Amino acid sequence: MPKTEFSPSIESRPTYPGLTSQGSAPAIMVADAAGAEALVDLVATDASVMDHAHVVLIAKAPELAAKLTALTPKALHEAPDLDAATPLVTQILDTAKMGTQLYLAGSEGVIGHVSALAFARGLPMEAIQSEHRGSIARRMQCVHCKGITEDVTTDPFVCAHCDLTLFMRDHFSRRLGVFQAVCVDAETPGVVPATEEIRP
């Protein structure tokens, strides 16, 4: 699956320019199943990028893990989902050396969440690269109850925490790694527009 092209949006909405090798600098790479292909493509441009790379694969996919292992990273770690990966990624970020490069590939949820973890630990923005692949599902924060709903693909959608019906905004917080969602029928309770699948 190729890199996703998104339609133009507002300034706070993140963009994902794609991965470019920074050579054999220490690296942390985090990808989901779709994003793993972006790492394969990255290595095809410069094999040395794996010399000092910790790769975290967020997927239940042994064949992908084998494919990434074949690229000979310093270490490959597997995690079944984003929640499970968080302590591991946090630990790797906490022990990262100065000059470490962070490569993120996959859905907006993975990129947004891991970027937020990295910012919170003081990784400079210039050290983070990202490439969007696969699902365009979003990680949405309800502005009312503050609960986060993962993998949202429709607009409006129902908050997984407080049950309000929410519409998606493009407004994005890097600190939280989430888009903002707001009650769609706040002024006219019960009057909810038709549900639509989101587009890139």
Partner 1 sequence: MTMQFNDETFRGDYTYHNSQKAIRRFPFPFDQDAYMYSVNIEQHPGGPEGSPFEVMFDVDEHYVAEMKDREITLAEDPLRCQSLPHMELAGWDLLELIMVSKARDYPELFTLHRDGNDWHWINKPLGIEKKFTFLDPTTLPCGPMEYITRQTQGDFALLHERDGNLWMDAGMVTSQADWSLDFDVGMNFFEWHAPVPKARKMGVFDKALKFLLSVGQDQSYRRLNWTLTVNPRLDTSPETYHKWGPEKRSVTPENVGRKQFLRVELQTFFRLPRSNALAFPIRCYLANLEDLAGQPKWGRRLHRVLRDIDPTLAEYKGFAVNQEMIVDYLSQFDDGAPTSPGIFPDG
* Residues making contact with partner 1 (CB under 8 A): 10-13, 119, 141, 143-144, 146, 164, 169-171, 173-176, 180, 182-183, 186-189
Q: For residue 70, what are its two tokens?
A: 């074949």
Q: Write out the DSSP string of 112-175.
A: HHHHHHHHHTT--GGGEEEEE-S---EEEEETTT--EEEEE-EESEE-TTT--EEEEEEEEETT
Q: How far is the CB of 109 from partner 1 (least distance, A)?
A: 17
Strands 101-106 and 128-132: what pairing? parallel
Q: How far is the CB of 128 from partner 1 (least distance, A)?
A: 14
61 or 143: CB nearest partner 1: 143
Q: How far is the CB of 52 from partner 1 (least distance, A)?
A: 27
106 or 177: CB nearest partner 1: 177
Q: How far is the CB of 129 from partner 1 (least distance, A)?
A: 18
Find the distance separating the first CA and the last CA of the chain, reported in whole Å.
14
129 or 180: CB nearest partner 1: 180
* Among candidate residues 197, 200, 106, 105, the one with its CA nearest the CA of residue 152: 197
36 or 178: CB nearest partner 1: 178
